[in-house]
Amino acid sequence: MPHSPDDPSDRQPESVGSEGEPARRRPVPIDRRSFMRRAALGAIAGPALLDFLAACSSNNVAGPSGGSTPAGFQIASPDNPVTWPIYKDNKPIKSGLKPQAGSTLRLYNYDDYIGPKVVKEFEKKYDVKVTVSTFNDTDEALTKIRSGKVLYDIYFPSYDQIAKMVTAKLIRPLNHSYIPHQSNLWAEFSNPWYDGEWRYTVPYTVYTTGVGWRSDKIPADIGGMANPYDSLWDPTHKGRVAVIDDWHTAMAMVALRAGITDINTQKAKDLTVIKNQMLDLNAKTNPKVTITMYNDLPAGQLWLAQMWSGDIVNAQYYLPKGTKPDVLAYWFPEDGKGEVDNDLMVILSGGQNPVAAHYFLNHMLDTKNALDNFGYIGYQPPQNALDPAKVVADGYVPKNLESAVVRREWFTAGYRLLELPPAADAAWHAIWQQFKAGG
Amino acid sequence: MSLDAPPEPDERQDIAAAPPAARTRVLWPVLAFPGTLWLVLLFLVPLYVVLAIVFGQIDPIFRSPVPVWNPVHWNTVQFQDVFSHIIGSDGFFGPALLRTAVYVLSASALCLVIAYPVAYYTARYAGRRRGLLLTLLIAPFWISYMMRMLAWVNLLQNDGLVNRALGLGGLFNVQVDWLNGRGLVVVLGLVYGYVPYMILPLYAGLDRFQPHVLEAARDLGAGRFDTFRRVTLPLSIPAIVAAVLLTCLPMLGDYFTNDLLSASPSTSMVGNLINNSVLTPGQTGQAGAFVLLVLVVSLVPMIIYVRSARSEGVAS
Q: What residue segments make up the domains of chain A, in order of their start?
A: 18-59+83-206+341-412, 208-339+418-437
Helix segments in chain B, DSSP class H:
9-16, 21-39, 45-54, 77-84, 94-124, 130-138, 145-156, 161-166, 183-207, 211-219, 224-227, 233-235, 237-253, 256-261, 270-278, 284-315
Other beta carbons within 10 Å of B35? 9
Query: Cα distance from B205 to chain A (closest Cα, Å)?
Result: 28
Count H helices, E strands: chain A? Answer: 14, 9
Cβ count within 10 A of residue B122? 22
- DSSP letters spanning A385-417: TS-GGGTTTTTSS-GGGGGGSPPTTHHHHSB--
Q: How far apart are CA B276 and CA B262, in angstroms?
A: 15
Of the candidates A30, A37, A429, which has its C-beta nearest B283's C-beta?
A: A429
* DSSP symbol at A228: G
Helix, coil or strand: residue A333: coil
- C-alpha span between A215 and B155 (Å, rounded): 25
A439 and B95 within 8 Å at the Cβ level: the answer is yes
Residue A341 DSSP SS3: strand
CA atoms of A141 and A138, how far apart (whole Å): 5
Chain A within 8 Å of B264 (Cβ-Cβ)? yes
| Other Cβ atoms closer than 10 A to B44 | 12
CA distance linking residue B107 with residue B112, whole number of Å: 9
Say if the ipTM goes beyond 0.85: no
The C-alpha atoms of residue A108 and residue B34 are separated, in whole angstroms, by 38
Q: Does the beta-carbon distance from A61 to B60 stay under 8 Å?
A: yes
Q: Is domain A208-339+418-437 given the CATH code 3.40.190.10 in the classification?
A: yes
**CA of B179: which chain A residue's CA is closest?**
A301
Task: Enumerate the residues of chain A whose CB falls inside 8 A of the CB of residue B277.
Answer: 433
pLDDT of residue B20: 65
Whole-angstrom Cα distance, residue A241 to residue A262?
25
Determine the pLDDT at residue B17: 53
Mode of pairing for the β-strands spanning A304-308 and A241-244: parallel
Give the number of residues written for chain A. Answer: 439
Please report the pLDDT score of residue B305 as a whole number: 80
Pick from A301, A302, A321 the residue to mutate for testing the B interface (most B CBs within 10 Å). A301
Which pLDDT score is estimated for A91?
A: 94
How far is it, in rounded angstroms, from Cα B131 to Cα B126?
A: 9
Instruction: Give the model confidence (pLDDT) of A323-375 as tens digits.
Output: 999 999 999 999 999 999 999 999 999 999 999 999 999 999 999 999 999 98
CB atoms inside a 10 Å sphere around CB B215: 11
Q: Which residues contact A308 (CB under 8 A, 6 or more apart)?
A: A25, A207, A208, A209, A244, A379
Cα-based distances in Å from B240 to A86, B120, B151, B188, B189? 66, 12, 29, 20, 21
Q: Is the pTM of this model over 0.95?
A: no
pLDDT tens-digit series, residues B240-251: 998 998 899 899
Chain B residues within 8 A of A422 when measuring between CB atoms: 60-61, 63, 282
Chain A environment of B40 (Cβ under 8 Å): none
Residue spans of chain B under pLDDT 70: 1-22, 311-316
Instruction: Nearest chain B residue to A297 by CA: give it.
Output: B158
CA pseudo-torsion sign A167, A171, A172, A174:
negative
Decide if A16 contacts A117 (C-beta within 8 A).
Answer: no
At residue A130, φ and ψ (nearest 5 deg) are -110, 125
The pLDDT score that the predictor gives to residue B59 is 86
The answer to whether B285 touches B59, Cβ cutoff 8 Å, is no
- CATH code assigned to A18-59+83-206+341-412: 3.40.190.10
- Compute the radius of gyration of chain A from its Cα atoms: 21
A240 touches B: beta carbon within 8 Å: yes
Q: Do B61 and A139 touch (CB under 8 A)?
A: no
Window 285-304 of A: residues touching B by CB (8 A cutoff) are 286-290, 299-301
- Supply the pLDDT for residue A276: 96
* Domains contained in chain B, CATH given: 85-278 (1.10.3720.10)
Q: Show residues of chain B in contact with A436, CB under 8 Å.
A: 265, 268, 272, 276
Residue A191: strand, helix, or coil: coil
Residues of chain A below pLDDT 50? 1-68
> Minimal CA–CA distance to A237: which of B4, B6, B233, B177?
B177
User: Taking a C-beta distance cutoff of 8 angstroms, is the pair B206, B161 a contact?
Assistant: no
| A30–B268 CB contact, under 8 Å | no
